[in-house]
Structure 1
Amino acid sequence: MTRQFHKMHGLGNDFVVFDARAEPLTVTPALARALGDRKTGVGFDQLIVLTPSPAADLRMDIWNADGGMAEACGNASRCVVALTGAQTIETEGGVIEGAAIGAEVEVAMGEPRFDWNQIPLADAMDTRPLPLAWDELASPDAVNVGNPHLCFFVQDSDAIPLEKLGPQIEHDPAFPERINVNVASVEPDGSLKLRTWERGAGLTLACGTGACATGVAAIRRRLATSPVTVRTHGGNLMISWAPGEPVRMRGAATHVFTGTIDLDSLPA
């Protein structure tokens, strides 16, 4: 079965996008893993499948490269707005609103959630800060912005061995649905320097929901003011938020190429 796809990225966080609104596409964990293989498939951080929605202009389902699913993806949301012109996108984590603003795209990711059972955590505990530690990473804020995040504030985010600590924290029993892990440092100009270990994808050049969660956590801690620039290895995102309001994210969305692939030819 041959299908058309789009390769896109938001600040280096890359996606394969299938528009299945007119022609349905069944995705299994095995197919997602095969497509995500950068040697024998196409390669991506997340696979995006677009389908019709009764609640929005379209629905976006998100598969990680390991075959698991995510509830929301900020960088992918911007890419879908840029690709389709959709202004509302239904996700498992809620409805996202978006619009092109000049050369960039802004999306409203909904209101962040902070209660322990909204993250979710395995046990009731404070989430600001969370009374847990893993080696030099301690006392993060827990924030759900459509999917769950921990936000650690450190002196130098580049000095943290996230390749080691990221998978340990992601799979800690404290997080029954696993967790995304962010380490951020406050720069002299008031911006945030961020690295993210994404649940199911590992280290990525940028994570949109990670930038949203970390921006919100920094504003709540009064480490930053809204809007705040979040600097990732892939580029910059502008995060705006006030209590009781949705968190908004603005940044680039890039279409790389359109291709076709024979799905039946992929390794089982």
Structure 2
Amino acid sequence: MSDLPKVRRLEAVGFRAWPAASVQYDGSWLCRLTAGHPSRRLNSVNPLDPSDYRDIDIRLQKAAKRFADYGRPLLVRQTPLTPPKLIAFMDEAGWVEDGHTVVMMADLATLPRDEGLDHLPSRDVGRFVDARIRVAGDDPALKPGLTEIINAIKPETGLFIFEDTAFGPTAGTIAVHDNDLVGILQLGVAEEWRGQGLGTAILHASLRWAKLKGARHAWVQVEADNAAAIALYRRAGFQDVYQYSYRGPAAV
């Protein structure tokens, strides 16, 4: 059984840490759409109250129209806050479930006390986006959309980049400090540099920065089938809080 107050708080800080371009509410269903980036987190319906299940069919039709206007497929992000009657509706209609993600948290008090701030975050969004695309092997066409997302993050943000003088960027991550919490996003290590401890190093660098800023706990969202990333976070003291997945109508 999930701790719903904790889930609600992590959902709220998650939305602030990775802001969508368009945000519309239908009751307590949050519709997030972003024309400039295909991320499902930025293009999904997010129900936030298990008791809000009125007019399910009509509301999904309205959401589908909004998504079609953005050229996006209709997706519902199913979390512990999703109304059971909406889940039953999707099950009966044969909606496909995909993309399981684990939300994890860690207590920053477990970080070594004698370690100082050995890496400072960058303030250059363009440089970070270029590094992120290189490290992840992403399509360079995503640069404008990713730049817009990062510039729209309102809580204090640290952009961490590790580089090699000959190779260029080797690892990167974003730390979003929001009151006593810090979210770790977009952590990646270049394929040629994996297995050398860079993921652990850049994670701890960002967590130390956030701890000095006053954060007490860290959270992360990681795909359930990414065994290497889950192992990295578990070694750093992260523990599972809840999971979510995406649901969409079956292709006709």
TM-score when normalising by structure 2: 0.30
Relative contact order (alpha carbons < 8 A, sep ≥ 6): 1 or 2 greater? 2
TM-score when normalising by structure 1: 0.29
Higher share in strand = 1
- Higher Cα Rg, which structure: 2
